Amino acid sequence: MSETPSEPFTLDMDRARRCGFPEVVFGEGKCVDTLTSIFEQLLSGDHEVLATRISCEKSQALLKTFPGGNYNSRARTFRLRGKQTMSAAKLGRVAVVTAGTSDLPVAEEAFETLDWMRVAVTMVHDVGVAGPHRLPEKVDQLIGCDAVVVVAGMEGALPSVVGGYVDCPVIAVPTSVGYGANLGGISALLSMLNSCAANVTVVNIDAGFKGGYVAGLIASRAGEGRAERKI
């Protein structure tokens, strides 16, 4: 009698064809053996691997099995290239903007996601509303972007301000950075949901991957359109 796997899984190996990108692995709660099996199956299908919420301890074990892996300790992402990697050409452009340096882990998760999606990424750090002079100095880096990801905690005001400067979608990512009344990011989330800027939309608290992925889909489609018009 065969033993039942302790952590069974079923991968969506057809996702890249349907959705444009392979399945992304949420690493939190999965043991190293399960992650190893998932990575091997994805690589067998020539998919590039992106795993999020991978702890440092798990990454050390994974790197022994996959020495070619790339672990971003701040973002807690683990990446592996397949035998046939996705197109190296960058399609679309996104800026990832942070209110403060405490928001960097979430912003880095968005960055790694966008880079995995082959989107050109610009990072603009520490331009929160506590120092309102800092954002106008960096606005030129946002011009021409297909989407902007804004990562902010505390009162979550920055996405609305950014929205007033750009002509593209702004993906707001609230973070759990803040004092007691921030309520673990709920205050920032509600502020962003109530934004008066018409181009601002919001994802979940600390959801750097989701913010990056949505922005990446927008940018990829825009980049494909520009490429087709040049043909």
Alpha helices in the chain (DSSP H): 15-19, 32-44, 56-65, 104-116, 158-163, 186-193, 208-230
Least Cα distance to 221 among 105, 94, 82 occurs for 94
Determine how many CB atoms are found less than 10 A away from the CB of residue 15. Answer: 14
DSSP 148-168: EEEEE-TT--HHHHHHTT-SS
* pLDDT tier for residue 6 given thresholds of 50, 70 and 90: low
Sequence ranges of the domains in the chain: 15-80, 93-225
**Furthest-apart CA atoms within the chain: distance in Å:** 68
Residues 6+ apart with CB under 8 A from 231: none
Burial of 61 (0-12, 13-18, 19+ CB in 10 A): middle
In the chain, the amino acid numbered 71 is Y
pLDDT of residue 161: 95
Options 3.90.1150.10, 3.30.460.80, 3.40.50.1970, 2.60.40.10; CATH of 93-225:
3.40.50.1970
Q: Are 113 and 212 in contact (CB under 8 A)?
A: yes
pLDDT of residue 60: 95
Beta bridge partners of 170: 148, 200
Whole-angstrom Cα distance, residue 101 to residue 90? 27
Convert the pLDDT of each residue in 108-139 to its tens digit.
999 999 999 999 999 999 998 888 899 999 99
What does pTM read for this prediction?
Answer: 0.90
Q: Which H or E run contains 10?
A: none
Q: Please give the DSSP secondary-structure letter assigned to residue 86.
A: P
Least Cα distance to 23 among 44, 46, 42, 40 occurs for 42
Burial code (b: 16+ CB inside 10 Å, e: under 16) for 173-185 equals: bbbbbbeeebebb
Convert the pLDDT of each residue in 161-188 to its tens digit.
999 999 999 999 999 999 998 899 999 9
